Structure 1
Amino acid sequence: MAALMGGLIGWERELNHSPAGFRTHILVSVGSALIMLISIYGFADFVELKHFTFDPSRISAQVVSGIGFLGAGTILRQGVTVSGLTTAASLWVVAAIGLSTGAGYYFPAIITTIIVFVGLIIRKQLDRIFWNKKTRAVLEVWTDNEVVQLSELITIIANSKSVSIKKLRIEEDQHEESKITFTIKIKGESLDAKLLEELQQVEGINRVEQVY
């Protein structure tokens, strides 16, 4: 149950190219459920001992504070733009769903899963209605590590009136190149070819590809 509900929310995050996706959410949810089961049943043999204080919430309570470290790893800050807050919040909720499932409270866990999942889906629809029907796209920019200026790339994209940056991720590969992945929103149905040309002309850029 925990894997199913956590995986459902993680699947939605995976489709949005979030730092924590399907597998991470399943692990958090199942792990939280296991910790709750241990808290409730793991010390049953000691309950009847004298001078033994049984508090099933003690171990599970650490999940609430501990999940903050994992959530913080999904939050990225670039200038005045902060991304990953929704994913961090979804991990926190998934941990609560796992704890609820482990305690046997299936109905609250199911209701919470439905609310979170529907809320994430509805948000996309509202974006399309109130943000001039912007389309999500992903740009992959392959660069030489020592030459390219990230700020120049951001400036070029930011200066385009029809494009806004939603997420940014930097990866290095074995060929001494860096891949900068921009998740952007386009006003309209397609990306302006002039923007791709401007990015390609920046010194140090090897290639620019629009994934979708």
Structure 2
Amino acid sequence: MTLEFLLRLLVAFSCGVAIGIERQMRQRTAGLRTITLVASGACLFVTLGVLTGNGTAGVTQIAAYVVSGVGFLGGGVIMREKGSVQGINTAATLWCSAAVGVLSGSGHFGPALAGTCVVLLTNTVLREVSQLINATPVSNADLIRAYVLSVVCRDDDEIHIRTALSNAMSSTPLSFQSLTSEDVADQPGRILVTATLKLHPKDQPKLEWMASRISMEKSVSSVSWIAQEAEPTPE
């Protein structure tokens, strides 16, 4: 029994090290030591059920507690930073490492090794695939984005600038939403003309061309535009 226990622990340790090295190389929150401890700890807990002679039911119950405990541990590595959620992949890796440890502790060495390979392939090969997908031109995405173009000009030329914007949007063409004007508080004699439009992100160069064209007007002192949140195109 001692030799079998050591074998199970060694398999869990080895699988944890294999997964942990990949995480450590990428400088993740949960690295080599954390992943190895999770896999080895899960193995120890499940082996406890085997050693106490509680049978399959006891091992299954302990494994369930391991899953919930690792879920709590995984929640600790997930954080929100600058509007984005970080650490979900690391938490999932911890969860899978615990599963590998449970399989090792139960004596299922083949599935444990297979699980380790799946985790490593997911964090290496599929990582490259996901980066390729993210690098795909946004023209392949079904999105519409709202843009706000702001032009500051002399108040005497307000009508001319509004006409130029309308003509540019009609000739591009862009989805024209609104065109408003207001006085610039800290710049007497200046008018802020704001155009709101919606277009596919692949058409953003057209907006840039229009902004560049308007900026060449003598009465224009500044031109700027901002992109708002993208939204799916209607079905």
TM-score range, shorter chain: 0.5 to 0.7
SS of aligned partner of 2:29:
coil
How many Å separate the matches in 2 of 1:55 and 1:102?
A: 13
How many Å separate the matches in 1 of 2:51 and 2:67?
A: 19
Are positions 1:40 and 2:79 aligned together?
Answer: no
Post-superposition offset of 1:29:
0.4
Cross-structure match for 1:106: 109
Post-superposition offset of 1:7:
1.3
How many Å separate the matches in 2 of 1:60 and 1:119?
A: 23
Letter matched to residue 28 of structure 2: S
Residue-pair matches, total: 125
How many Å separate the matches in 2 of 1:28 and 1:61?
A: 15
1:76 to 64, 69, 79: 79
Which stretches in structure 1 are left out of the alignment for 5+ residues? 48-53, 134-212
Cross-structure match for 1:86: 89
Q: 1:14 touches 1:20 (CA, 8 Å); kept in 2? A: yes
Matches within 5 A, 1:45-194: 55-126=58-129, 129-132=132-135
Cross-structure match for 1:2: 12
Q: TM-score, normalised by structure 1?
A: 0.54
2:27 to 12, 17, 31: 17
Post-superposition offset of 1:132:
4.8
SS of aligned partner of 1:120:
helix
Larger Rg: 2
How many Å separate the matches in 2 of 1:128 and 1:66?
A: 31
SS of aligned partner of 1:56:
helix
User: 1:180-206: per-residue Cα shift (whole Å, max 9, x none)?
Assistant: xxxxxxxxxxxxxxxxxxxxxxxxxxx
User: 1:153-212: per-residue Cα shift (whole Å, max 9, x none)?
Assistant: xxxxxxxxxxxxxxxxxxxxxxxxxxxxxxxxxxxxxxxxxxxxxxxxxxxxxxxxxxxx
Q: TM-score, normalised by structure 2?
A: 0.49
Q: 1:5 touches 1:110 (CA, 8 Å); kept in 2? A: yes
How many Å separate the matches in 1 of 2:25 and 2:44?
A: 27
SS of aligned partner of 2:58:
coil
Letter matched to residue 75 of structure 2: A
How many Å separate the matches in 1 of 2:71 and 2:120?
A: 21
Instruction: Go from structure 1 to structure 2 and tell me whether the alpha carbon gap of 1:85 and 1:100 turns closer, same or farther (over 3 Å shift).
Output: same
Cross-structure match for 2:178: none
How many Å separate the matches in 2 of 1:75 and 1:3?
A: 24
Moved more, 60-69 or 85-94: 60-69
Q: 1:9 touches 1:116 (CA, 8 Å); kept in 2? A: yes
Q: Detail structure 1 runs of 4+ shifted over 2 Å in the superposition.
A: 54-60, 123-133
User: 1:105-146: per-residue Cα shift (whole Å, max 9, x none)?
Assistant: 01111111111101111133225544559xxxxxxxxxxxxx
CA RMSD of aligned residues (A): 2.1
